[in-house]
Amino acid sequence: MDGNKDILTVVLTVVGVAVFVGVLHFFGDELGIHSASDPNAAVSSDPVDQGRRLARNCIPCHDLTSARRLTRVGPPLWGVVGQRVASVPGYQYSRAQIRAGQEGVVWDEPSLDRYLANPKEFIPGNKMAFSGLREASHRRFLIEFLKTLQDHGDGRMGLGPVK
């Protein structure tokens, strides 16, 4: 039964992502959203800005806000950098993710890079429907952005660079 739920989750995720990408592609100009391939869009050299642009692809499945909502297909990503794998309370992880967390895998830069390159290879059996980012620079940019999604030690929260 769990296998059928996992398959249904993957199918619904793929359909949701396809619909989201289609809507962005079709209505992008009206919504003020420009793809990275838009020749008229200003291209920033800041890795965090480039990562923020790439992270738009994560929004259909993951909450990127400090609210850490569990309403998406995937777990919220606020504070993910430095967090143990499968450690968001209330989210139903795959057995493979839970096992990785129990083995002590932490989402640091090297593990995120390997996971984002090929999630199914890094944690075989996980339920993420994302096939991976092949470009090393894209993974680096996305990780730099993810590092900004955290509560600061002084009580601040924000999307600024992590020092």
Q: Residue 67: which CATH number? A: 1.10.760.10
Q: Is residue 38 part of a domain?
A: no
Q: Is residue 13 part of a domain?
A: no
Distance separating alpha carbons of residues 59 and 53, to the nearest angstrom: 11
Q: What is the pLDDT of residue 7?
A: 74
Total structural domains within the chain: 1
Q: Is residue 102 part of a domain?
A: yes
First to last CA, the chain: 46
Distance separating alpha carbons of residues 103 and 16, to the nearest angstrom: 31
Q: Give the least confident one: 58-72, 103-117, 138-152.
A: 58-72
Q: What is the pLDDT of residue 106?
A: 98
| 141 pLDDT more than 60 | yes
Q: Is residue 23 part of a domain?
A: no
Q: What is the pLDDT of residue 27?
A: 42
Q: Is residue 89 part of a domain?
A: yes
Provide the pLDDT confidence category of residue 159 given band limits of 50, 70 and 90: low
Q: What is the pLDDT of residue 151?
A: 86
pLDDT tens figures, 85-96: 999 999 999 999
Residues 6+ apart with CB under 8 A from 144: 47, 48, 51
Q: Is residue 29 part of a domain?
A: no
Look up the domain containing 135 and give its range. Answer: 45-158
Distance separating alpha carbons of residues 29 and 55, to the nearest angstrom: 19
Query: Does an H or E element contain 34, and which?
Result: none
**CA dist 131 → 10, 42, 121, 122, 148 (Å):** 12, 28, 10, 11, 24
| 37 pLDDT more than 60 | no
pTM to 2 decimals?
Answer: 0.69
Provide the pLDDT confidence category of residue 35 given band limits of 50, 70 and 90: very low
Q: Is residue 110 part of a domain?
A: yes
pLDDT tens figures, 47-83: 999 999 999 999 999 999 999 998 769 999 999 999 9
Mean pLDDT of 8-35: 53
Q: Is residue 77 part of a domain?
A: yes
Mean pLDDT of 120-136: 95
Q: For residue 96, how many other CB atoms are within 10 A of its CB?
A: 17
